[in-house]
Amino acid sequence: MTQQEPVTSSVEDGIALIRIANPPVNALSAAVRGGLKRAAEAAAADPAVRAIVLAAEGKTFIAGADISEFGKPPVPPSLPETIAALESLSKPVVAAINGAALGGGLEVALGCHARVAAPSAKLGLPEVNLGILPGAGGTQRLPRLIGAAPALKIMAEGKPISAKEAQANGLVDEVAEDVVAAAKTLALKLAGGALPAVPKDRTNLGAREAFEEAAAAILKRNPNNPSVEACVDAVRAAFDKPFEEGLAVERAHFTRLRDDPRSAALRHVFFAERAAARIPGLPKGTAARPVQRAAVIGAGTMGGGIAMCFANAGIPVTLIETTEENLQRGLERVEGNYATSVKRGSLAEDAKAKRMGLIEGKVGLEAAAGADLVVEAVFEEMGLKKEIFGKLQEIAKPGAILATNTSYLDVDEIAASTSRPADVLGMHFFSPANVMKLLEVVRGKETAPDALATAMEIGRKLAKVPVVSGVCYGFIGNRMLARRTAMAERLLLEGALPQDVDKALTDFGFRMGPFAMSDLAGIDVSWRIRKAMNLKTAPVADALAEAGRFGQKTKRGFYDYSADGRTGAPDPEVATLIERISAERGISRRAIPQEEILQRLLFPMINEGARILGEGIAARAGDIDTVWLNGYGWPAWTGGPMFYADSVGLPKIVARLREFAAASGDTNLEPAALLLRLAHEGSSFTALDEKAAA
Ligand code: TC6
């Protein structure tokens, strides 16, 4: 089979129609760049060509540079050279933007003389999300086209704008359903006249003060973000330097950032998230079951949040409770959450009404009968869950998916309480469910392939990042978290204070440390669970809870919140309490260096991640990273726990774990078999994933 040329060109009625066809998203691979440059040169040389239209096949215009080429030796022509070839043509080039024009894709369109976009098209410069900045003229052309302040906003936020917005700010000249036809008409109109290229001077930049004001606000919102800082610097160069010199400033930032390990980590994040959507072992062509209507059992904080996810995605949902009173309380909480969004300006009043209209409250399990997907979100109590699933086998439609939102419990045991275990799986949302992006989809041993495919597809429809996990206590995320939690307590007993432990993690890049998090969630929640299970694993947290220090809600927990109810201050009383518990246990306290604290918190989690991978609970190391990045606030520019482990070096982690295990006598800290093997072979988690994908 001959491979289709990624760029083709045909001439008709004086117009050269250059088409890009490089599925799935028309990324600007070396072959596309080469094809574009040759097509531009051929159009320039052909006397029959009066104008050029640049179009693309599929639903995307161009998704940008081919990210998989970063980190490999560059292949000419470069993207700036390719764009220069289009821009320097003496015949008009019009971009027909049929779908997303992102990054280098928008930069190609900016190198054209005019742009027509479909109403559904999205235009953006999302490079900051990959730790870089636009590197093919975007930082110089966009400000000169629409003004420096609005251009900086687009590139620093990394969020695409709609065709309508792009027309309003002058980025596109026309919005049309049939972009190719409209672009042809426009191209012929421009032929023979002066070409409306992006001005190379300061005409359109706007007021310098407005730019500096916008830049200061953006830098404040994005502290220590090298990509955003580079965007500001490059756009500022548009005021201070001629066009070509501005391009050089941009290029220098681009190559520096592209070669920074933080950008490599963010590229890993991009591909890991997409790889997580592929389910190993799923028969080819497995189709998802249709889901027209959902039901959520339990209108607590979690159940209400899950119902909101369905309503936000336009899927009607029945929210089910046992009593009218509980139901009303749940519905009021949902309404209150939407009202807060309206007040903040992130949701229109009519959109709120529409979403509330999609949520129907009902008392009694029978109301689940109409749903294609039922999500149970009641207390973490096996008996209760089994009872519900037992009843659902009669109530739910044949073929309806029966999902549990359990965070820890055995999905196989729950599935065994029904006569239809093939329909059962876990859909583990994270709190607050309407905000957090992670969805762990738990595959039971009997779960049918199409049930799994359905949960993954629905997850994406709910704007979540779904990751498949096998069945084990705590699944991927909470199982690893348990290692960190246990170690955090141990560090307190050995000499650290809550603020020392939290600081190690916030300095690493987490928004919050484990103790500040505990105070926010409520220390009493896990205390009650430990009491019920007769666990003595967290003596400090238990002592605080017993003293009525439940965290922010009682103004005291690991920290003192008496100042404003939200800002935690270190509390000498807590230090005294911890010192007392250490003394009672005969532990002589010592000052623990920050680096040791960090390693003792992170390395046991990585070790548990290796076990999870070794047991096949997670299919890829990248899946584990995706879980931690989207559900637990792991800093993206380190790539997630397993990618970070590779960057630290697996032999170093093995050596430190052995030291921790020897010092504590805790066999859990002994390096996992898979970690040992990879370290011994000089391999890495990344290499393991690559081998599995090949
Ligand atoms: C840049 O342009 C810098 C320029 C300066 C140079 C000097 N490259 O997301 P999906 C793959 S930086 C390579 O699931 P959707 C993706 O991995 C770039 N591959 O689809 C997946 O592959 P798989 C700036 C890419 O419909 C498949 O395409 N641009 C690229 O939900 C489908 O992807 C961006 O950051 C790429 N650029 O969303 C935009 N893009 O099937 C990145 C996608 O083997 N892309 N793939 O797993 C996106 O935001 C989205 O893909 C989308 C389509 C909105 C275009």
For ligand 1, whether the C-beta of 130 sits within 6 Å is yes
The secondary structure element, H or E, covering residue 456 is: helix 449-461
Residue among 32, 66, 67 whose CB has most ligand 1 atoms within 8 A, to mutate: 67
Residue pair 17/9 in contact (Cβ under 8 Å)? The answer is: yes
Q: Which helix (H) or strand (E) covers residue 582, if one does?
A: helix 572-584
- Whether ligand 1 lies within 6 angstroms of the CB of 371 is answered as no
Ligand 1 atom closest to residue 126's alpha carbon, by position in its atom list: 35
Which residue's CA is the closest to the ligand 1 atom numbered 32?
A: 24
CA 264 from chain centre, in angstroms, equals 16
- Residue 182 CB contacts under 8 Å (≥ 6 apart), including other chains: 96, 116, 174, 176
Residue among 20, 25, 75 whose CB has most ligand 1 atoms within 8 A, to mutate: 25
pLDDT at position 71 is 84
Contact indicator for 179, 91 with CB cutoff of 8 Å: no
Q: Does the beta carbon of 104 lie inside 6 Å of ligand 1?
A: yes
CB of residue 577 inside a 6 A radius of ligand 1: no
Q: Among candidates 351, 138, 361, which has minimal Cα distance to 250?
A: 138
φ, ψ (nearest 5 deg) of residue 568:
-90, 130
Locate the ligand 1 atom nearest the alpha carbon of residue 104 and give its number: 2
Angstrom distance (rounded) from CA 504 to CA 501: 5
Say which DSSP state 448 is in.
Answer: -
Q: Treating both helix axes as pointing N-terminal to C-terminal, what angle do 673-681 and 650-664 enclose, rounded to 10 degrees?
A: 140
Whole-number Å distance between alpha carbons of 54 and 626: 36
Write out the catalytic residue numbers: 107, 127
| Residue 3 confidence (pLDDT) | 60
10-residue stretch averages of pLDDT, the chain, 694 residues long = 80 97 97 97 96 98 96 94 95 98 98 97 98 98 97 97 98 98 97 83 94 97 94 98 97 96 96 94 92 97 97 98 97 97 95 97 97 96 96 96 96 97 98 95 97 98 98 96 96 98 97 95 89 90 97 96 93 97 96 98 98 98 98 96 98 98 95 98 98 92
Q: How far apart are CA 94 and CA 468, in angstroms?
A: 44
Decide: helix, strand or coil at residue 174. strand
Nearest CA to ligand 1 atom 27: 24
Q: What residues form DSSP beta bridges with 465?
A: 438
Ligand 1 and 121: CB distance under 6 A: no
Whether 64 is in the pocket of ligand 1, judged by its Cβ within 6 Å, is yes
Residue of 302, 633, 637 lying closest to 477 (CA atoms): 633
Question: Does ligand 1 lie within 6 Å of residue 63's CB atom?
Answer: yes
The ligand 1 atom at the shortest distance from the C-alpha of residue 125 is 24
Residue closest by Cα to atom 52 of ligand 1: 63
**186 pocket-lining for ligand 1 (C-beta < 6 Å):** no
Q: How far apart are CA 477 and CA 372, in angstroms?
A: 28
Distance from the alpha carbon of residue 174 to the mean position of ligand 1, in angstroms: 25
Closest atom, ligand 1, to C-alpha of 130: 35
The ipTM assigned to this model is 0.98
Ligand 1 atom, smallest distance to 99 CA = 55
Strands (E), 244-372: 294-297, 317-321, 359-363
pLDDT, position 66? 96
Question: Which among 111, 165, 168 is positioned nearest to 142, based on CA atoms?
Answer: 111
